[in-house]
Amino acid sequence: MDTCPPGARATPPRLDGASLDPLTLWLLVGGGLGTLLFTAVYLIEGATRPGYDAWVQPISSLSLGPGGWVQQANFILFGTITIGCSAIGWRRALRPGFGAVTYPLLRGIEGTALILLGCFSQDPTGGYPPGAPTPATPSLHGEIHVALSYVGFVSLLSTLLLARRFALEPSWRGWVWPTVLFAVLPIVFIAAFGATYGHAPAGVFERLASSAGLPFGLAILARLVIQARLGAGGRAGDA
């Protein structure tokens, strides 16, 4: 159950960077940097891996073949950062109030799924790795990988929860509809990926689904950091 004391709907607690302690801010920023690192790694790998076609192949195919350990490690590292930074940081930032339990819990589930995606690679598909045939019957680890991929949809639910929290706070209400938009966009791109799977530009659609919310997420973090700096400046001026 979310931490929402009586009367919180009438006077919701504020989400303000100026009220966050340095550890919480560092955790949130670390989560944002982790997302940037994850995105940079799969983009670079996709552009430079011999025999891999980023226009067609899914990101998970980078876990296969020579150098596949890089993407496996990328999944595991990003999942660890999501749990250790994003989930814990947002738990500290949102409490008390709506989403203070459920939002970080969903981020933790997302991080756990990412770690397991790095441990269970998908089966060869679409000609990658070169010369590796697509198995007639999916392997157990391939089926686990596909099942874990669907857990990523919890990010949709978590972003919608954040939009609801913004709606409860006057200073964040202008961010509600952009947050909803960036929650829905990945689903649109995933649908396009599924419709074009095995052909170009399926790989592009999946990359857009993975990174669609990144700029907006960084904008939220930037606002919290700016609020923290302004708050620190105000306190120094009063001293």
Contact in structure between 209 and 189 (CB atoms under 8 Å): yes
8 domain-assigned: no
119 domain-assigned: yes
- 167-202 residue pLDDT tens: 999 999 999 999 999 999 988 999 999 999 989 999
pLDDT of residue 149: 87
Considering its fold, how many domains does the chain have in total?
Answer: 1
11 domain-assigned: no
How confident is the prediction for the chain on average, in pLDDT? 90
The amino acid that residue 104 corresponds to is P
216 domain-assigned: yes
Owning domain of residue 114: 20-130+139-231
| Residue 8: pLDDT over 50 | no
Is 7 or 218 the better-scoring residue by pLDDT? Answer: 218
150 domain-assigned: yes
The alpha carbon of 22 is separated from its chain's Cα centroid by a whole number of angstroms, namely 22
Residue 97 φ/ψ, nearest 5 degrees: 145, 180
The residues, any chain, with a CB within 8 Å of residue 23's CB and separated by 6 or more, are 92
Is 135 or 40 the better-scoring residue by pLDDT? Answer: 40
12 domain-assigned: no
Is 191 or 6 the better-scoring residue by pLDDT? Answer: 191
- 214-236 residue pLDDT tens: 999 999 999 999 999 988 665 55
- DSSP per position, 137-204: S--HHHHHHHHHHHHTTHHHHHHHHHHHHHHTSGGGGGGHHHHHHHHHHHHHHHHHHHHHTTSTTHHH
9 domain-assigned: no
| Residue 12: pLDDT over 50 | no
Angle between helices 102-119 and 154-167 in degrees, nearest 10: 160
144 domain-assigned: yes
- 54-96 residue pLDDT tens: 999 999 999 999 999 999 999 999 999 999 999 999 999 999 8
| Residue 11: pLDDT over 50 | no
| Residue 148: pLDDT over 70 | yes
Nearest residue to 33 via CA among 67, 78, 73 = 78
Q: Which of 2-11, 62-71, 106-115 has the lowest mean pLDDT?
A: 2-11
